[in-house]
Structure 1
Amino acid sequence: MTVTDPAPSAPPPSDTAGAVADASLAGFGYQQELRRRMGRYASFAAGFSFISVLTTVFQFFALGYSFGGPRFFWTWPVVLLGQLLVAACFAELAARLPIAGAVYQWAGRLGTPAFGWYAGWIMVIGRIVVVAAAALALQVVLPAVWSGFQFVGGDPSPTSTTGAANAALLGLVLLALTTLLNVLDNRVLSAVNTVGVTAEIAGVVLIVTLLATHAERDPGITLHTGGEGGLITALLVGSFTAAYVLIGFESASEMSEETVNPRRTAPRTTLTALTSSGICGGLLLLGGLIAAPSLTDGRLATEGLSYVLTSTLGDGLGRVLLADVALAVCAATLAIQTSATRMLYSMARDGVLPRSRQLARVPRRTGMPGTAAAVVGVCAALLLLLNLASPQAFLAIGTTCIAMVYLAYAMVTGPMLVRRLRGEWPPPGDDERDELGRPLFSLGRWGLPVNVLAVGYGLFMTVNLSWPRAAVYDPEGGHWYFQWFTVLVLAATVATGAAYRRHRRRASGPAGSVPGPPARERDDRLRS
């Protein structure tokens, strides 16, 4: 899995490089509407913020530990390896198709317009659910920082009735702020993301160091049994933590139309964001396990890492670090909403969604698809209201969003594999260069085995996440709809999409069919 560069030549001026990127976008049938200002670190920040190990590890550590005990740690490297296979495939695509709405564009150009539409539709809905799930994570940390953040009732646990209601309230406030930032200039957006990522990396380093210096046991504890059920159940359900954390690495590709030198930058920052997040998250899990005051008092399975920090490091320092985690939650929610907005914008400018003209509108003053951002924010806010119905909605929302993302990923790696087997990928005569005149990222001879494993892994995890386990989704009983929530949402998403496409065909005739990405003649090289 290597990229071979020739001897470096003098890079073109930034304005020339930008003109090359803009011309490349025009070749795919699009005008440059978004503002191309993001550098390499900002591109990395887009992916790292979406993954946000501080947000997601703190949010789902308790779930993994409650089912798998200390041994759930080993699901982390397995999921990381699987996601690296997917990310490697995406890196090849990012270099050759640097277009916003990456999954939608890639699936449509590798497969058919209809197939790409469904992949994009599933990803849009999945991303909106991810936004809601990320916003709920504030409940895991803010009440532990200061009890005044618990506005509703007295029990801050996200699994309690009052904790669930308070989580919805905090999430609504956060979504209002992130929606505002997504309507403003992308320089503000990029600056907030960059600050958030820098603070998050510093926080991870500090937390891991402090937990290591307060270790109560050695890393061998990860080989011990514990949790609920047998080994297979522990690993399958325990993998939910890693599966939820290690998604969104393709956000760097979603921002390709706002990135300087996207053909060169996006593939590298995609892999870098995932690798660095995987290392940081693994160290956080290990630190929590070796530094926890107790592995048997039940608190690690309900309060997770927040309990470890405040109990081990003391209230003062623990709360300071939790405040950093809260900042990471805010940055993650912002990045995820931005990614969902770009996907919605990409589909809307192709005219394949209801109210496409309004959703695709980009005011010259801001260079931001503000209407699309507002729609994502409102839809995510409506999902938060489910948390008022039952605390179990927290887990149902979280696992549903990652199942949909995994399915959408497989809808890219699947047709990519078909093209490899036909000898159509990489495209014959694949001699394109990036903006600096260097060869594009390529898997070379590793392409086929990596692609095969990526497809198998993606489909397996989709089934694992969607499986209606009563012990996971409806432990108290009486809420069959939560047990089947992921399956129902997936089915409803596909059915709604099919109904819309059928309505459009009937209303407008053949001309009203959902066309998919324009300039498809440029993609004939993928078929010849």
Structure 2
Amino acid sequence: MQQDQMKRSLTLIPVVLFGFSFMALATVFSTYGIAAELSNGMVSGSYLLALIVMLFTAYSYGQMAKVVPSAGSAYTYTQKSISPHVGFMVGWAVLMDYLFIPMVNYLLFGIFFSAAFPAIPSYIWILGMLLLVTLINARGIRLATMANAMITIFSLLFIFIFIGFSVKEIVGGAGTGTLLNVKPFFNPDESFSYIVAGAALLCFSFLGFDSATAFAEETVNPKKTIPRAVMLITLVGGAVFMTVSYFAYNVWPDHTTFTDPDSASHEIITFVGGKLMATLFLAVYAVTVFGSAMSSQASASRVLFAMGRDGQLPSFFGKLHPKFKTPINNILLISAISLLSLVLSLTLVASFINFGAFIAFISVNIAVISYYFIKKKERSFKGTILYLILPGIGAVLDIWLLLNLDIHSKVLGSIWFALGFIYLIFLTKGFKQKPPELHLSLENDSQDRTA
């Protein structure tokens, strides 16, 4: 039905901007100190390794977007290529990821600004940001795209200014005193295991490249645009993270001298640019958190829409606003759930996120193998590399990262997963029937859904 179709208006750049906002490019600063400790200073090397790991999964997302250009992302890919039952469970896991990321951003915003302005309670900041994000997403993709463009430009501008100030200090003799240095990537005097430890943490900086696939039904020519967007987001994000951490090391090579690893970037920024630069960083960080909240809420609402339209969730979730063509019920519901940020702790909320993300990543890699290598029999030498070896490597690496999550993530994630399994039993009457699903044909769907 027409009412169940979203309006196609997004081109490559807006989709990439959504990914950058979700990923939050400026978070490279907030994780630098902890990453420097874990990697023994080789943060750029850890980012490089993390980028390599994530590129395998980004490749698989792009391959599945070519054949299932539909809202729902990992949920739809696994539903169509593996089975509706697996698709439901992956969608359930993804919901855990997407539903709690906006909450984390609201919490960070409240903590951040209540510390900067103690006279104003954190709940005022949280409610204000939540209201603004909800309004922008409810009004439609075009307004959100404009906001994402401003956020990304602001973040990149600050990063360029930071690099400029850093170069000035290094050339003047500060830090290592050299602009050419391999030690941020690899120090022969240190064990490679430090780089691996840092990469296990920093892979989470790339969460968000997959969010672009949730906008497939609102994208012009999604079969080409979405795969390109996913790879661009991953590559550019990785390049930014490596560059910032490279100059941060050369400005301040001894990570053991930070007053507090959590605020290491603030010390570095103040050192290269003074109080004015530190103040600008506060503004950039606030804008980055806002952008991530907006993009994650938009992505989550579309996964809920896909599951509601398919009948795997009540029809309430599959409705669009008659004028703006946005999944308004889901946007409002996510905002209501995010009110829990007023009472929950950051540690508890963050523990939910990573488990769902890696379940989705593993499943999409397997979906590529299932669809191309098994069902389509792409088993030539080239097909074996593209549709078995590459996604197989991606799945193995993602399983490794999943197993290395902290105990809270694994326990809370397993509980959420078990609840989804119980609901699936109810939905299928004890597996006597298949879960409801939308009958999209693989490969030719985009031609039927053009605006």
Would you say same fold, with TM above 0.5? yes
Question: Which stretch shifts more, 98-107 or 176-185?
Answer: 176-185
1:4 counterpart residue number: none
Identity of counterpart residues, as a percentage? Answer: 18
Match of 1:398 among 346, 350, 373: 350
- Report whether the alignment pairs 1:271 with 2:211: no
Question: Which stretch shifts more, 400-409 or 215-224?
Answer: 215-224
TM-superposed deviation, 1:386: 2.1
1:35 counterpart residue number: 7
Q: How far apart in 2 are the matches of 1:374 and 1:357?
A: 15
Q: How far apart in 2 are the matches of 1:425 and 1:195?
A: 45
2:408 counterpart residue number: 485
1:517 counterpart residue number: 438
Q: Which amino acid aligns with 1:76?
A: Y
User: CA 1:140–1:208 in 2, change beyond 3 Å: closer, same or farther?
Assistant: farther
1:257 counterpart residue number: 217
Q: Which amino acid aligns with 1:410?
A: I
User: CA 1:385–1:64 in 2, change beyond 3 Å: closer, same or farther?
Assistant: farther
Match of 1:414 among 366, 369, 379: 366
User: CA 1:241–1:173 in 2, change beyond 3 Å: closer, same or farther?
Assistant: farther
1:424 counterpart residue number: 376
* RMSD of equivalent CA atoms: 3.2
Higher relative contact order (CA 8 A, sep 6+): 2
Q: How far apart in 2 are the matches of 1:138 and 1:203?
A: 19
* Structure 2 SS opposite 1:340: helix
Q: Which amino acid aligns with 1:406?
A: F
Match of 1:148 among 114, 117, 135: 117
TM-superposed deviation, 1:51: 1.3
1:90 counterpart residue number: 61
Q: Which amino acid aligns with 1:516?
A: E
Structure 2 gaps of 5+ residues are: 445-451
TM-superposed deviation, 1:260: 1.4
Match of 2:159 among 197, 204, 209: 204
The structure with more helix, counted as a fraction of residues: 2
1:386 counterpart residue number: 344
User: CA 1:150–1:116 in 2, change beyond 3 Å: closer, same or farther?
Assistant: farther
Task: Decide whether the 8 Å contact of 2:19 with 2:211 is kept in 1.
Answer: yes
Q: How far apart in 2 are the matches of 1:66 and 1:320?
A: 26
Question: Which stretch shifts more, 115-124 or 176-185?
Answer: 176-185
TM-superposed deviation, 1:235: 4.2
Q: How far apart in 1 are the matches of 2:218 and 2:46?
A: 35
Q: How far apart in 1 are the matches of 2:114 and 2:29?
A: 13
Match of 2:335 among 370, 377, 387: 377
2:424 counterpart residue number: 501
Deviations along 1:46-105, one digit per CA (max 9) or x if unpaired, are 112111221x22332233233333124322111101111111111111122110011110
Match of 1:51 among 15, 23, 27: 23
Task: Decide whether the 8 Å contact of 1:236 with 1:464 is kept in 2.
Answer: no
2:144 counterpart residue number: 189
Task: Decide whether the 8 Å contact of 1:178 with 1:333 is kept in 2.
Answer: yes
* Structure 2 SS opposite 1:367: coil
Task: Decide whether the 8 Å contact of 2:258 with 2:267 is kept in 1.
Answer: no
Question: Which stretch shifts more, 231-240 or 410-419?
Answer: 231-240
1:114 counterpart residue number: 85
Alignment of 1:105-504 (within 5 A): 105-138=76-109, 142=113, 147-148=116-117, 151=120, 166=122, 170-215=125-170, 216-217=175-176, 218=178, 219-222=181-184, 223=186, 234-292=194-252, 295-299=255-259, 301-353=261-313, 356-383=314-341, 385-387=343-345, 393-394=346-347, 397-398=349-350, 400-422=352-374, 424=376, 445-465=385-405, 468=406, 484-504=407-427
Given the two structures, how large is their TM-score scaled by the length of structure 2?
0.86
1:155 counterpart residue number: none
Task: Decide whether the 8 Å contact of 1:113 with 1:516 is kept in 2.
Answer: yes
Deviations along 1:284-326, one digit per CA (max 9) or x if unpaired, are 1122222238633332512131222123310113312431232
Deviations along 1:321-378, one digit per CA (max 9) or x if unpaired, are 431232122112111111111111111111112xx22222112112111110122222
Task: Decide whether the 8 Å contact of 1:88 with 1:443 is kept in 2.
Answer: no
Q: Which amino acid aligns with 1:34?
A: M
TM-superposed deviation, 1:501: 2.0
TM-superposed deviation, 1:134: 3.0
Task: Decide whether the 8 Å contact of 1:98 with 1:256 is kept in 2.
Answer: yes
Q: How far apart in 2 are the matches of 1:300 and 1:443?
A: 50
TM-superposed deviation, 1:489: 1.5
* Structure 2 SS opposite 1:214: helix
User: CA 1:306–1:490 in 2, change beyond 3 Å: closer, same or farther?
Assistant: same
Q: How far apart in 2 are the matches of 1:517 and 1:386?
A: 36
Question: Size of the alignment, in residue pairs?
Answer: 436
User: CA 1:449–1:458 in 2, change beyond 3 Å: closer, same or farther?
Assistant: same
Deviations along 1:201-258, one digit per CA (max 9) or x if unpaired, are 22222222322322312545534699xxx95774454224421111221222211111
Q: Which amino acid aligns with 2:423?
A: Y
